[in-house]
Amino acid sequence: MTVEALLQNLWEDYTRLAPGAKRLHDQVEAEGETIVNDHIAFRTFNTVPINLEALERHVLDLGYRRFAPYTFEDKKLRAMGYHHPAGHPRIFLSELETEKLSPLVQRVARDLAAQVDPARVADPSILWAGRLWQPISHETYLALLSESEYAAWVAAIGLRANHFTISVNDLRKFNTLEKLLDFLEGKGWRLNTAGGRIKGSPDVLLEQGSTMADTMEIEFAGGERHRIPTCYYEFARRYPDAGGRLYEGFVAASADRIFESTNVHVAA
């Protein structure tokens, strides 16, 4: 598989769960912009066979290189950033440290991962495979949600891109994050305001913002269907460091608030 094929498959799956992302993409391009993707992010459990190390093999096989690790103590997450020497979009893989959460979260993660065929994980399509286990009950979803929104999201949505990101550096008309967010609000988009509309600053070499996630009816056990948050669109503006090199990494404090783009209590 090529990087281009990976990106196309991810985009098609992502916009199926977040059709608003395609609409937003088209609205920005209708203003004469050409959108460049800054990065794509994924969520998973740290449970074999779907842990971060298992998923990253496909990223590394395509020529990506590990850039830097990240930890999110409050949300019990660890992550790794990857970049490609040919300039393809950065990738951000994260996983939930289930052992730091309740026995319920640990049991659910273990039970769901046990339903995944390791042979499926060996194929790159695992990165957009979605839910490879039987639907959880809505009651279980709510129980997970009360402890970890991230756990509830993975259990209900599965393995796939959580968000794509527009590179503000590559925009002309909307050449600052503030201009882009003003435009989107004017179009009626709901933005993630946790920690402020813009997370980060030139001082940390990265500014980020995002929409709130789309919502979609998802099937739960017993054939029940409930509308829950799916995926969102992020926006990033990077700044050069003291040596004049554009910052390639991520800022944990900002990413921590970006994660909240799928929060149910905000998205409802």
State the pLDDT at residue 58. 98
pLDDT tens per residue across span 105-132? 999 999 999 999 999 999 999 999 999 9
Total domains in the chain come to: 1
- Residues 78-107 as b or e (16 or more Cβ within 10 Å = b): bbbbbbbeeebbbbbbbbbebeebeeebbe
Give the model confidence (pLDDT) of 213-259 as tens digits. Answer: 999 999 999 999 999 999 999 999 999 999 999 999 888 888 888 88
* CATH number where 229 lies: 3.10.180.50
Residue 133, pLDDT > 60, answer yes
* CA pair distance 182, 188, nearest whole angstrom: 10
Q: Which of 260, 159, 155, 263 is nearest to 218 (CA)?
A: 155
Mean pLDDT of 13-37: 98
Kindly state the percentage of the chain with pLDDT values over 70: 98
- Contacts for 53 with CB less than 8 Å, ≥ 6 apart: none
Average pLDDT over residues 171-177: 97
Q: Which domain holds residue 86?
A: 3-267
How far apart, in whole angstroms, are the C-alpha atoms of residue 175 and residue 56? 32
DSSP at 131: -
Rounded to an integer, the average pLDDT of 31-49 is: 98
User: Average of pLDDT values for 127-156?
Assistant: 97
pLDDT confidence of residue 267:
38
- Arithmetic mean of pLDDT, 256-265: 81
In angstroms, the CA 217 to CA 199 distance is 30
CA atoms of 64 and 3, how far apart (whole Å): 9
pLDDT at 268 over 70: no
Q: Mind listing the pLDDT tens digit for each residue in 2-21?
A: 999 999 999 999 999 999 99
- Chain segment 75-95, per-residue pLDDT in tens: 999 999 999 999 999 999 999
Neighbours of 161 (CB within 10 A): 22
In the prediction, which pLDDT does 263 show? 84
